[in-house]
Amino acid sequence: MPVQQNIEKSVNTNTGNDFTIETKPVKVAPQKKYFERRAKTKVSVRQKRATNANVAASSQSNNAQASNAQASQITDPQIYVIQFYASPSQSDAEQWLRKVQNKVGNKAYISTQIVRDQVWYRVRCGTFSTKEEATVAARKYGFSQSWVDRIR
């Protein structure tokens, strides 16, 4: 509960020739400073994200426990992709997609990802079983500023 301050409010009463000033105390809550309001907002957003992450993690762990017996028998293959470009601009990503498709062919695609409440468009290519395979392919395609991501 915020601390309240007393501020006196003046009331002017003018009746004929007499002029009097009456003062009455008024309780006013202090105003929060900008950075205090801002910090509280950031904490609540972080708390919401953490709560959502915990809920997602618990549901994933339940699913993981259910399929744990199957996973021990069969190991999932690792899949790597080459990422050529990432941008919050869809039109930029589509331009890059055309550039990559000219060199690579129709193997290139755009995937979307939400990062800090903003959609990012990623221009990617291929499915490789090892990181080394993907790195060799990226060099072969002639893109020096690409990187390899493991997607599974």
Which CATH number characterizes residue 135's domain? Answer: 3.30.70.1070
**SS3 label, residue 27:** strand
CA 86 – CA 113 distance, rounded (Å): 10
* pLDDT number for residue 112: 94
Torsion of CA 77, 78, 84, 86, to 10 degrees: 110
Give the domain-ending residue among 25, 44, 75. 75
The three-state secondary structure class of 148 is strand
What's the CA gap between 111 and 93, in Å, rounded? 10
Do 38 and 90 share a domain, yes or no? Answer: no
Please tell me whether residues 49 and 115 are part of one structural domain. Answer: no
Same domain, 62 and 89: no
Q: d(Cα 82, Cα 109) in Å, to the nearest integer?
A: 11
**Per-residue model confidence (pLDDT) at position 33:** 61
Q: What is the pLDDT of residue 152?
A: 81
Give the residue numbers spanning the domain of 107. 80-150
Domain count along the chain: 2
pLDDT of residue 92: 95
- The pLDDT of residue 57 is 60
* SS3 track for 47-88: HHHHHHHHHHHHHHHHHHHHCHHHHHHCCCCCCEEEEEEEEC
Residues 6+ apart with CB under 8 A from 7: 25, 26, 28
Provide the residue-wise pLDDT of the chain in tens; the chain has 152 residues. Answer: 554 554 444 455 555 566 566 666 666 666 666 555 555 555 556 666 666 666 556 555 555 555 554 554 456 789 999 999 999 999 999 999 999 999 888 889 999 999 999 999 999 998 999 999 998 998 888 877 888 989 88
pLDDT score recorded for residue 151: 86
**Of 49, 75, 101, which closes a domain?**
75
Contact status, residue 113 vs residue 122, Cβ threshold 8 Å: yes
